[in-house]
Amino acid sequence: MSLVVVSNRVARGKVNEPMTGGLAAALLPVVEKSGAIWVGSSGRVRHGAQKEPFAEIEALGAGALAMLDLPAAHYGGYYEGFANSALWPALHSRADLIRASQQDYLSYREVNAFMARALLRFKKPDAVFWIQDYHFLALGAELRDLGVTQPIGFFLHTPWPARAIIEGVPHHRELVEAMLAYDLIGFQTEDDRESFLGYVSCDLGLEVENGVITSRHGTSRIAVFPIGIDPEKFATQAAKAASHPDVSRLRRSLNGEKLAIGVDRLDYSKGLINRIEAFDRMWTLQPALQRTVSLLQIATPSRGAIEAYGNLQNELAKLVSDVNGRLGEVDWTPIRYLNKGFSQTVLAGLYRTAQVGVVTPLHDGMNLVAKEYVAAQNPADPGVLVLSKFAGAANELDTALLVNPHDIDGMARTIAIALSMPLTERRMRWEAMMTKLRAGTIQQWFADFVEALQETRLDKAEDKAESPSPVAEAPTLVPLRSVNTGARYH
């Protein structure tokens, strides 16, 4: 099997560089080991009619990383436009923020078609394509139009919202119909899967049986694969990072104070305003907690050219400075607010230094920061995770302190509880979460999806063999080389 993984953002194998985005950081170690070809955007654009779409192809572990310069005329409409101003807000249930022009939609489709043409280079008879995320909802259909008959799977890293929200996206029907060209569609949670199936049966009127949709493309299996991390590797990294200069400087600067940490892309789905308000409320309602704890909030700027993101950045900066100005002392800054990214290694060390991890998105597909915070803790003295019940991670990390991020008072009370939680309870909760992390690693996720994709195709081939219509070119399906256990998808 020649596996081709496609995502908009890709990562290079440099552990000491800052990394934006859960997807790229999570995929890097597994793609490196799998021997797959990872295809994505170079982050640069191409003008005119250059023949070769690939700007760079370089070795990545046992496989390769292939980066494309996307067409300049369509990049803005695709990335800032349709993907991040129409799909992203809708997928995170912010219909009020959906902005999309017809031109943006056309650019999105153009970039999907451009990517499909570029991928033909990797169309070996034994190729298996695995497309990632909302940037490429229509890529499977484009590949089929170009005659690709190999297995094509798709995984959505974001949530899938209620019908009424996705109906707010222009061309929603056309897009979801195009998605049905994928043999297998994976979601983070059962709720996402159910919302998608609900849309398909109610809005498209298609037949759904046991999670299999029948459409003009044939059949698509819809399943759940919660993405994980490599907890052991992260724990080792965190223990080692204790001596990193950034981490030791942070520890020294605390002067016996406790630390809470938040690490997010600067995005409205992350609930940053509500989180700062909750700390403000906690310090105001319980003045004894002033000077005893500060919040380190890392908010990496993201998608700055989009108005909603610029507005959020301004609003947050104002709120943080208001809280610091009002509550701060000459020797105490309540909120340490940083607009920059850190390497995974440094982050691991920062997580381990903090007694409380606050991960309180309004809505999130999974949120790997929650998992990383847990994995980074010192087993003898672990910190407490305060986690939004609207993050996909809450399904597994149910022994975290779960909060409703819209309830500011409730969050304020919960953070205070986390700060004073006795060691025995901290350890009990942490061990339960570690057990879940060990049971659902990123390696397992990767292997499960690829195995399920191959099985889905085998089932289809069997169905076709039983039916009188001619069978299309069937690729050779071989078992995965990587560790694999029974399929855990459902």
Catalytic residue ranges: 157, 364
- Length reported for the chain: 490
Binding residue (CB under 6 A) for ligand F6P from 74, 94, 109, 157: 157
Which residue, 79 or 105, is less far from ligand F6P as judged by CB? 79
Binding residue (CB under 6 A) for ligand F6P from 4, 22, 142, 334: 22
Interstrand relation of 258-265 and 356-359 (parallel, antiparallel or unpaired): parallel
Q: Which residue's entry shows tokens 């572990």?
A: 61
C-beta neighbour count of 124 within 10 angstroms: 13
Q: Which residue's entry shows tokens 């004073």?
A: 420
Contact stretch for ligand F6P (CB under 6 A) within 16-24, 66-74, 104-112, 339-347:
16-24
Which residue, 195 or 454, is less far from ligand F6P as judged by CB? 195
Q: In angstroms, what is the minimal distance from the CB of 410 to ligand F6P? A: 26
Which residue, 171 or 265, is less far from ligand F6P as judged by CB? 265
DSSP type of residue 472:
P
DSSP type of residue 476:
P
Report CA torsion sign: 484, 486, 487, 490: negative
Find residue 335's DSSP bridge partners: 295
Q: In angstroms, what is the minimal distance from the CB of 200 to ligand F6P? A: 22
Q: Number of residues interacting with ligand F6P: please give it, by CB under 6 A.
A: 13
Q: Using DSSP, state whether 157 is helix, strand or coil.
A: coil
370 binds ligand F6P (CB under 6 A): no
Contact stretch for ligand F6P (CB under 6 A) within 19-27, 115-123, 138-146, 436-444:
19-27
Contact stretch for ligand F6P (CB under 6 A) within 18-26, 136-144, 246-254, 405-413:
18-26
Which amino acid is present at 145? D
Binding residue (CB under 6 A) for ligand F6P from 104, 133, 142, 451: 133
303 binds ligand F6P (CB under 6 A): yes
275 binds ligand F6P (CB under 6 A): no
372 binds ligand F6P (CB under 6 A): no
Residue by residue, what is the 3-state secondary structure of 50-78? CCCCEEEEEEECCEEEEEEEEEHHHHHHH
Which residue, 22 or 29, is less far from ligand F6P as judged by CB? 22
Which residue, 12 or 318, is less far from ligand F6P as judged by CB? 12
Which residue, 99 or 217, is less far from ligand F6P as judged by CB? 99
Binding residue (CB under 6 A) for ligand F6P from 357, 365, 382, 475: 365
Is the distance from CB of 445 to CB of 23 less than 8 angstroms?
Answer: no
Is the distance from CB of 55 to CB of 41 less than 8 angstroms?
Answer: no
E strand segments, 74-187: 127-132, 152-155, 184-187
Q: In angstroms, what is the minimal distance from the CB of 364 to ligand F6P? A: 8
The span from the first CA to the last CA of the chain, in angstroms, equals 24
Contact stretch for ligand F6P (CB under 6 A) within 17-25, 56-64, 160-168, 347-355:
17-25
Instruction: Give the residue closest to ligand F6P by C-beta.
Output: 23
Is the distance from CB of 93 to CB of 63 less than 8 angstroms?
Answer: no
192 binds ligand F6P (CB under 6 A): no
264 binds ligand F6P (CB under 6 A): no
Contact stretch for ligand F6P (CB under 6 A) within 14-22, 96-104, 231-239, 306-314:
14-22
Distant-in-sequence, close-in-space partners of 21: CB < 8 Å, separation ≥ 6: 9, 265
40 binds ligand F6P (CB under 6 A): no
302 binds ligand F6P (CB under 6 A): yes
20 binds ligand F6P (CB under 6 A): yes
Backbone angles phi, psi at 362, to 5 degrees: -75, -30
Binding residue (CB under 6 A) for ligand F6P from 93, 150, 158, 360: 158
Q: In angstroms, what is the minimal distance from the CB of 332 to ligand F6P? A: 32
Burial call 396-430: b when 16+ CB within 10 Å, e when fewer: bbebbbbbebeebeebbbbbbebbebeeeebbebb
Binding residue (CB under 6 A) for ligand F6P from 4, 11, 23, 200: 23
Q: Which of residues 373-392 bind ligand F6P (CB under 6 A)?
A: none
Which residue, 172 or 265, is less far from ligand F6P as judged by CB? 265
Dig out the tokens for 115 from the structure. Answer: 């990517």
Burial call 101-120: b when 16+ CB within 10 Å, e when fewer: eeebbbbbbbbbbbbbebbe
> Of the candidates 164, 170, 152, which has an alpha carbon nearest to the alpha carbon of residue 108?
170
Interstrand relation of 218-224 and 184-187 (parallel, antiparallel or unpaired): parallel
CA distance 169 to 304: 22
Binding-site ranges for ligand F6P (CB under 6 A): 8-9, 20-23, 133, 157-158, 265, 302-303, 365
